Amino acid sequence: MAANVRIKDQWKEQRLFEQRSLAAGAIIAALSVLLLARLVTLQVVRHDYYTDLSQGNRVRIEPLPAPRGLIVDRNGTVVAENRPAYQLELVREEVPDLADTLKRLATIGLIPAEDIDDARKLVMSHRSFDSVPIRLRLDDEEIATFAVHRFEFPGVDIRTRLARSYPFGELAVHALGYVGAISEQDLGRIDRAAYSGTTLIGKLGVESAYEKELHGQNGSREILVNAQGRSVQRQGAFVPNLRTVAPVAGDDLLLAMDLDVQKTAEEALGDRRGAVIAIDPANGDVIALASRPGFDPNTFGRGITRVEYKALLDDIDRPLFDRALRGTYPSGSTIKPAIALAGLVYKDVTPDDHRFCAGVYRLPGSSRMFREGRSGRHGSVGLVDAIARSCDVYFYDLANRIGVDHISTFLAEFGFGSVTGIDIGGEKSGLLPSREWKRKAFSRPQDQVWFPGETVNFGIGQGYFLVTPLQLAYYTSILANRGTAYRPRLVNGVRDPASGEVRRFPPKKELRVEATAEQWQVVMEGMEGALRGRGTAAATAGRNMTYEIAGKTGTAQVFSVGQNEKYNEHMVPERLRDHSWFIAFAPAEAPRIAVAVLVENGGFGSTGAAPIARKVMDAWILKGGGA
């Protein structure tokens, strides 16, 4: 029997093929419709969106830093300005190997080898697309060197920026401060968007305290770039419509300082270590604020090297230290006018009370001797004469009568023991001792007791009592105003650089010390007497006066002299000699300037500090300042 043979069904296969073809065609048609719809969406419906997006791939937004505001003195002389400079900048995302790039830049001498780690940390602290300055103020030779090797450094370029410049160098540097590269610490406290493209920020003094006013508002511009990120004018037929937002310059600062008086103060100090502060008693304007030695702020503006910075730190004279605001010293006899006024206010003395000065003072019931100063002995002296001739014995006894509690309370009214509130940072408060302070300052019970001998030393500005030169100038301005104080200020206004409109800051008045007119007059007579006759400053600051000066000398001990020893400055190392003080205001009848001068290790106040103060007062009063 023959086997069954299956015959192929061609019609069925044909139908199956047709069905599959139809299904495939339907799928292709559906996909084509979806593709067409997507193309319509991309090309028509969202055309503007994707045009902007594609534009962003070849148009880069570059920040335009705002010009920093100028700083001018009270007469309009520019003391801080902006000048064009070339600096080396790096964009991290465009650099293949950051460490290798920095190393090769050091090899060709564009960055110091010792600054590589600092440069790397600075770059890494910014966003990857930020242009970060790694070297400020390139000279012509360095620019030429980079131009030759430019192709070797993708992501590194030279840009023109405005750099801060101080035309008078180190003059008034501790008042003005300086600008430096934005550090990691700065980035943690500033608005990064507001500082995009900015390379420098105020570090000290006015530059730091008024950073907000000086900084301005940065702008931006769109630039066309190629695939390598380089700026180009056009890409093929594409010529973009690039937008620019202009920056707004920072406000100009109007200083209360008089540059001529400031220059006089610093030249008078010369190479000596010290400070000079001059204040207008009528409003608190700081006419001069000098601290010597100083340093050139332009060094920081161009980018100080580690070697240069270390040299400043290691300098035995400490040029970076602001003696005017941060130096604390015993006041010496400059505090005697306040002690005299305290005695009058608390009725522990009258103007007619006389004491006999035999050159030494002993506390009742004690054998310890407190010696008179340079003059040795004064004989019988009254309160006015005691101020004028700076009789220590008189004030030893007066301080013992007043007591430490009243002295501390009264001196606090002059601002001692607290900051004056000047409009720049870094000020120290000094030290105003009291019974309570001593209990907290010492751990051993026997050291926490306040002894009568400490009150006696307090009365002539020795012992624990410490002041800053700024505090003494502030105190002198209160004496000049007979109790009224104005908060010291270095800046008294700002100016809009576009319109020229000036906005002045009102002075801040503070009522500090209350005493009767008669009590004030006694103190004034004593201070005026210091510049006349047998007064301690008559032969120096008081010589050939053309206007009346009221002042007080002071000599602050650096180390203690034994009971049976005599101080001989010629036998003492220079840095262990007494500090020299002088405070004064003038004209005495209508004060226009109050001055405090410190000369470290300068010896007696009458010979070290007083002549400097006279030069400063002459520079202001004889040219009509404050009139």
In order of 231, 543, 604, the CA distances from 377 in angstroms are 83, 24, 17
In order of 132, 158, 193, the CA distances from 126 in angstroms are 7, 18, 11
Structure-block tokens of residue 315 = 């300098």
**How far apart are the C-alpha atoms of 421 and 208, rounded to whole Å?**
15
DSSP 401-438: HH-HHHHHHHHHHTTTTS----SSS-----B---HHHH
List, in order, residues 6 or more apart from 112 with CB less than 8 Å away.
106, 305, 306, 307
**How far apart are the C-alpha atoms of 442 and 385, rounded to whole Å?**
38
**How far apart are the C-alpha atoms of 319 and 270, rounded to whole Å?**
13
In order of 420, 536, 553, the CA distances from 391 in angstroms are 29, 10, 11
Task: Tell which residue, 347, 346, 335, 351, has the closest CA to residue 395.
Answer: 335
Structure-block tokens of residue 504 = 């002045």
**How far apart are the C-alpha atoms of 461 and 331, rounded to whole Å?**
5
Q: What share of the chain is helix, strand, coil (3-state, %, to 5)?
A: 40, 20, 40
Catalytic residues: 333
Structure-block tokens of residue 95 = 């650099």
